[in-house]
Chains A and B, each alone.
Chain A
């Protein structure tokens, strides 16, 4: 297939960080199977940094490559750094995506943002309980 970049094919054929985290600190889910792509990200957070990340994705080659790429990009980053990351950044890191895949498959950063929101709301609740 020529329409995907070498980087996309590399991540698609050998996806990194596939799986899930038991007792994850945050979970983020985007997309839905009816549209075609669905991504679920699990994160572990320590000292405001993502120390572990895993994903499960139902979708096309681009969706799987995006999931893998974004998981590598956020590992070890602070939550603020990840919140600044955009879907475009992920597409750029993959040396671009076909234009028709930009909107539906390029949801990796959104998924991570959701996982962080989920982590923060849990964290807040925990703090309230502790008080």
Chain B
């Protein structure tokens, strides 16, 4: 069997239909939209189409879409550009403790410059509490950024309700990082009533190197990359035309095929969960079990084993997953999301994360469940924790 890929929130397979529309812009149409000659206007048209396609995915207007190089850049632009635009009004920012690092790091830097940052807690399923948010708001609050969907534990926040909680306060900008919601949740910026929203191409079978920031009409933020007139001067720099064209196509497909994709991934995801919990004891679901969970996401803790070792065993036979284990993270600190939901340290070590895509098949899922079961038995036979538990019925932690 070929490799089996379950890490689609890190990056997803570039779809053939997307690659096809991109290729001419590498080879034939290498102009830039600012040129008046024919190659310029071809790229200008292509960008206009892409901008419409991206806007349509989130029910925005085309002129509200700013193309960037990645979700991280969009988040940086939203946070720094938003704060710099509003700093005369106050110095307080609110976010949650489970945001992507591209939200947390810019905020860390702003905190060093004297801004006050409140990190909202989340409950054991990863949800922020609107009441806590309301209490956190003060007269100096200028910006709130709360993630739409968490890629690790699948929590879908009720952004509409959260925004309605804060919208009675004038002058507060609300941003949401919706990268993990792309193609998985029906995003509607008008219904959500957000001011800024980040989406990215690489999680919806589009190319890497392109993303977007939705900025509501009339909202002015301070550009972070200057020197040109591109993207209404909000993001200067030569446009990555092939990637933008591909992103547009990926958005068009994601919008059109959204319902059937959700059905495919949720059916497969549920099958993995039910089979694994049937075949392996002491397996626990992390994140919500309701419909407000990312359809493609499964995060389980398998007790008495460590996630990196399971990840490596699966990888040795071509099955690719991720883990929240400290040992699988570069800084060896492990997942701050699992920490924020209050998961026991040993169970954090045993996490394994599946993020499926429409390209996964039933056959792949069945094979994976068999192999996971086999490898968990193997690791537990080595594990002092498990053998001790079997002998004494006690946990030593």
A binding-site residues for B, Cβ under 8 Å:
1, 4, 9, 12-13, 15, 18, 20, 29, 32-34, 36-40, 56-64, 100-101, 104-105
Contacts and interface: CB of A to CB of B under 8 A. Distances in A.
B382 interface: yes
Given A12-B309, A13-B316, A59-B309, A33 B327 contact: no
B312 A12 contact: yes
Interface string B323-350: 0011110111000000000000110010
Interface in B293-314: 304-306, 308-309, 312-313
Given A32-B397, A38-B385, A60 B346 contact: no
Contact of A34 (B305, B345, B386): B345
B11 interface: no
Contacts of B306: 36-37, 58-60, 63
Given A15-B382, A56-B382, A57-B383, A64 B316 contact: no
A57 B325 contact: no
A106 to B, nearest CB: 12
Given A56-B384, A58-B304, A60-B306, A34 B397 contact: yes
Most buried by B among A15, A33, A56, A100: A33
B138 interface: no
Interface in B202-255: none
A33 B346 contact: yes
A36 B326 contact: yes
A100 B328 CA distance: 11
Contacts of A37: 306, 327
A61 B304 CA distance: 15
Contact of A18 (B315, B345, B381, B397): B381
Contacts of A29: 384
A13 B332 CA distance: 22
B316 A60 contact: no
Which 6 A-B pairs rank lowest in CB-CB distance, beginning with the nearest? A60-B327, A56-B384, A60-B308, A58-B385, A58-B383, A61-B312
Contact of B384 (A15, A57, A61): A57
Nearest to B305: A58
Interface string B99-120: 0000000000000000000000
26 contacts: A9-B312, A12-B312, A15-B382, A18-B381, A33-B349, A33-B385, A33-B397, A36-B306, A36-B327, A36-B332, A36-B349, A37-B306, A40-B384, A56-B384, A57-B384, A58-B306, A58-B382, A58-B385, A58-B386, A59-B306, A59-B327, A60-B309, A60-B328, A61-B309, A100-B331, A104-B332
